[in-house]
Amino acid sequence: MQSLLEGLVVSHLGKGIAVEVNQQIYLCQTRRKLETVAVGDKVQISEVNGEQGRIEKLLPRRSILLRPARNGKTRPVAANLDNVFVVFAVEPACDFLLIDQYLALTENLNINAQLVLNKIDLDNSDEIEQQLAYYQSLGYPLHKVSVKKSLGIETLKQALTGHVSIFTGQSGVGKSSLTNFLMPEKSLKINSVSATTKHGRHTTTAATLYHLPDGGDLIDSPGVAIFGLADTTEQQLAWGYREFQPLIENCRFHNCRHVNDKGCAVIEAVENKTIPNSRYQRFLKLRSKLPAATAYSF
């Protein structure tokens, strides 16, 4: 029997999946009945011919990021991530609700989250500074950068080195600018694969894994901006607010919703200003968006 090769899924290209084995790219189809593979997955492939293969086996994942797909299902977008870098900017105005949403998700997925404030060449508001200081006090690393003026990029590079990471954040904050800055030659390898095979073109690429020049990988995925709370329960959302974690067991009722419940330790912390009211209000807002919370609210 032919021996299997171990590889890394680096891109979805139209109907084929690019798998890297010892610096060589194989364009692969998946064996039928195999579950959907994502960029970042480790797989075993069999060689079909020199540059084509078949994915035979999906190796265990240490994390998986999903995004909503059609008919209420989810689709894996990135596997084996270590870090999600939540990018936001001085302009367009910082969306702290979105930041909380990403942080709540990564908290539940056991993926580290780090914050990146871009465009510090523009004027900062005091409000941004205050909110950011609070996130830092929760233990989220903050990188203040300007891609345009090349400020703060070195420490960001160090945080990326040796890990698998992804940038997320609303459109216009500078994710593409950052990616291009970190990897000026990023599209070379994938483009050459597209050029030499009949399968999918570069424009159909859903997600791609790039190797960083100093080591480590960056997954670039257009779909990742929309990873949402569709699969999140109320309990997970509360857990996703990191500072709630030690408080939850002190709530009087084990099924406390932290909304207007008697003896709620979270509400108490908001009242004595340990937790900023703005942050708590965002929890309530995200909570009201959960499908489960609307079904059970009374």
Ligand X SMILES: Nc1nc2c(ncn2[C@@H]2O[C@H](COP(=O)(O)OP(=O)(O)O)[C@@H](O)[C@H]2O)c(=O)[nH]1
Give the residues lining the site for ligand X (CB under 6 A).
Answer: 118-119, 121-122, 146-148, 171-177
Which region among 37-45, 174-182, 256-264, 290-298 touches Zn ion (by CB under 5 A)?
256-264
Binding mask 82-101 for Mg ion (x = CB under 5 A): --------------------
In terms of DSSP bridges, do strands 42-49 and 217-220 run parallel, antiparallel, or are they unpaired? unpaired
For residue 170, the minimal CB distance to ligand X (Å) is: 7
Q: Which is nearer to ligand X, 66 or 147 (CB)?
A: 147
In whole angstroms, how large is the CA radius of gyration of the chain? 21
Query: Does residue 233 belong to the site contacting Mg ion (CB under 5 A)?
Result: no
266 binds, among Zn ion, ligand X, Mg ion, none (CB under 5 to 8 A by kind): Zn ion
Residue by residue, DSSP assigns the chain as -PPPEEEEEEEEETTEEEEEETTEEEEEEEPTTPPPP-BT-EEEEEEEETTEEEEEEEPPPS-EEEEE-GGG-EEEEEES--EEEEEEESSSPP-HHHHHHHHHHHHHHT-EEEEEEE-TTSPPPHHHHHHHHHHHHTT--EEE-BTTTTBSHHHHHHHHTTSEEEEE--TTSSHHHHHHHH-TTTTHHHHHHHHHSSS--GGG---EEEE-TTS-EEEE-GGGGG--STT--HHHHHHHSGGGHHHHTTSSSTT--SSS-TT-HHHHHHHTTSS-HHHHHHHHHHHHHSHHHHHH--
* Residues in 266-285 that interact with Zn ion by CB under 5 A: 266
Q: Are 13 and 27 in contact (CB under 8 A)?
A: yes
Length of the chain, in residues: 298
290 binds, among ligand X, Zn ion, Mg ion, none (CB under 5 to 8 A by kind): none
For residue 59, the minimal CB distance to ligand X (Å) is: 31
For residue 135, the minimal CB distance to ligand X (Å) is: 20
Query: Does residue 258 belong to the site contacting Zn ion (CB under 5 A)?
Result: yes
Query: Does residue 170 belong to the site contacting Mg ion (CB under 5 A)?
Result: no
Q: How many residues bind Zn ion (CB under 5 A)?
A: 5
* Residues in 212-251 that interact with Zn ion by CB under 5 A: 251
For residue 293, the minimal CB distance to Zn ion (Å) is: 14
54 binds, among Mg ion, Zn ion, ligand X, none (CB under 5 to 8 A by kind): none
For residue 263, the minimal CB distance to ligand X (Å) is: 43
Which region among 31-39, 68-76, 172-180, 256-264 touches Mg ion (by CB under 5 A)?
172-180
Selected from 78, 173, 209, 264, the binder of Zn ion by CB under 5 A is 264
Selected from 176, 233, 236, 278, the binder of Mg ion by CB under 5 A is 176
Please give the residue ranges that form the binding site for Mg ion (CB under 5 A): 175-176
